[in-house]
Chains A and B, each alone.
Chain A
Amino acid sequence: MFISDIRKEFYEVVANQRVALLVSSDIDALCACKILQALFHCDQVQYTLVPVTGWQDLGTAFLEHKEQFRYFVLINCGANVDLLEMLQPDDDSIFFICDTHRPVDVVNVYNDTQIKLLIKQDDDLGVPSYDDIFRDEEDEGDDSGNESDGGSEPSGKRRRFDEGAVERRIERQRERREWEARRREILFDYEQYEYHGTSAAMMFFELAWVLTKDTKDMLWWAIIGLTDQWVHDKITHMKYVTDIATMQRHVSRHNHRNEDEENSLSIDCMRISFEYDLRLTLYQHWTLYESICNSCYTSCSFKLWTLNGQKKLQEFLADMGLPLKQVRQKFNSMDMTIKENLRDVIEESSNKYGMKDIRIQTFGVHFGFKNRFLASDMVHATAALLESTEKDESDSDNFIKALDSLSRSNLDRLHSGIELAKKKLIAIQQTVASCICTNLILSQGPFLYCYLMEGTPDVKLFSKPMALTLLCKYLLKAFVHSTRNKRCKLLPLIMAAPKDVEKGTVIVVGIPPESETSDKKNFFGRAFEKASESTSSRTLHDNFDTSIIELKTEDRSKFLDALITLLS
Chain B
Amino acid sequence: MDPSEVEFLAEKETVKIIPNFSLDKIYLIGGDLGPFNPGLPVDVPVWLALNLKQRQKCRIVPPEWMDVEKLEEMRELERKENTFTPVPSPYYMELTKLLLNHASDNIPKADEIRTLVKDIWDTRIAKLRLSADSFISQQEAHATLDNLTLMEINTIRTFLLDSLNCMYKLRSNLQPGSSKGKFADY
State the A residues within 8 Å of B (CB): 41-44, 212-213, 215, 258, 261, 263-269
Contacts and interface: CB of A to CB of B under 8 A. Distances in A.
Contacts of B57: 42
Contacts of A215: 56
Interface string B23-59: 0000000000000000000000000000000011100
Contact of A41 (B55, B105, B110): B55
A269 B104 contact: yes
Name, among B56, B57, B107, B109, the residue most crowded by chain A CB atoms within 10 Å (CB to CB): B56
B100 interface: yes
Given A258-B105, A266-B104, 15 more contacts: A41-B55, A42-B57, A44-B55, A212-B20, A213-B56, A261-B108, A263-B108, A263-B109, A265-B104, A265-B110, A266-B100, A266-B105, A267-B111, A268-B110, A269-B104
Contacts of B110: 265-266, 268
A268 B109 CA distance: 12
B71 to A, nearest CB: 14
Contacts of A212: 20
A408 to B, nearest CB: 13
A269 B104 CA distance: 7
A237 B57 CA distance: 38
10 contacts: A42-B56, A212-B20, A213-B56, A215-B56, A258-B105, A263-B108, A263-B109, A265-B105, A266-B110, A266-B111
A261 B104 CA distance: 14
Interface in B72-96: none
Interface residues of B, number: 12
Contacts of A258: 105
Contacts of B105: 258, 265-266, 269
Contacts, number: 28
A41 B107 CA distance: 24
Instruction: Give 7 closest A-B pairs by Cβ, nearest first.
Output: A263-B108, A266-B110, A266-B104, A42-B55, A263-B109, A213-B56, A266-B111
Interface in B7-33: 20
Interface of B: 20, 55-57, 100, 104-105, 107-111
A263 B105 CA distance: 11
B178 to A, nearest CB: 61
A71 B171 CA distance: 75
Contacts of A265: 104-105, 110
A42 B51 CA distance: 10
A212 B38 CA distance: 14
Contacts of B109: 263-264
Given A263-B109, A267-B111, A43 B104 contact: no
A418 to B, nearest CB: 26
A268 B56 contact: no
A264 B100 CA distance: 14
Highest count of chain A CB atoms <10 Å: which of B55, B100, B105, B109:
B105
A74 to B, nearest CB: 26
A43 B21 CA distance: 12
A268 B108 contact: no
A265 B104 CA distance: 8
B104 A268 contact: yes
A266 B110 CA distance: 5
Contacts of A42: 55-57
Nearest to A261: B108
Nearest to A39: B56
A43 B108 contact: no
A290 to B, nearest CB: 35
A141 to B, nearest CB: 57
B19 to A, nearest CB: 13
Contacts of A269: 104-105
Nearest to A214: B56
A267 to B, nearest CB: 6
Which of A43, A212, A265: most chain B Cβ within 10 A?
A265
Nearest to B110: A266
A142 B145 CA distance: 101
A43 B55 CA distance: 7
Contacts of B55: 41-44
Nearest to B68: A263
Contacts of A266: 100, 104-105, 107, 110-111
A162 B104 CA distance: 87
Contacts of B111: 266-267
B43 to A, nearest CB: 23
Nearest to B104: A266
A221 to B, nearest CB: 15
Contacts of A263: 108-109
B51 to A, nearest CB: 10
A104 B20 CA distance: 39
Nearest to A211: B56
A492 B110 CA distance: 56
B159 to A, nearest CB: 33
A41 B105 CA distance: 20
A204 to B, nearest CB: 15
B24 to A, nearest CB: 19
Nearest to B101: A268
A212 B110 CA distance: 25
Nearest to A215: B56
A212 B107 CA distance: 21
A267 B110 CA distance: 9
Contacts of A268: 104, 110
A44 B52 CA distance: 12
A12 to B, nearest CB: 15
B161 to A, nearest CB: 37
Contacts of A213: 56
Contacts of A267: 111
A8 B108 CA distance: 36
Nearest to B55: A42
A189 B105 CA distance: 52
Nearest to A267: B111
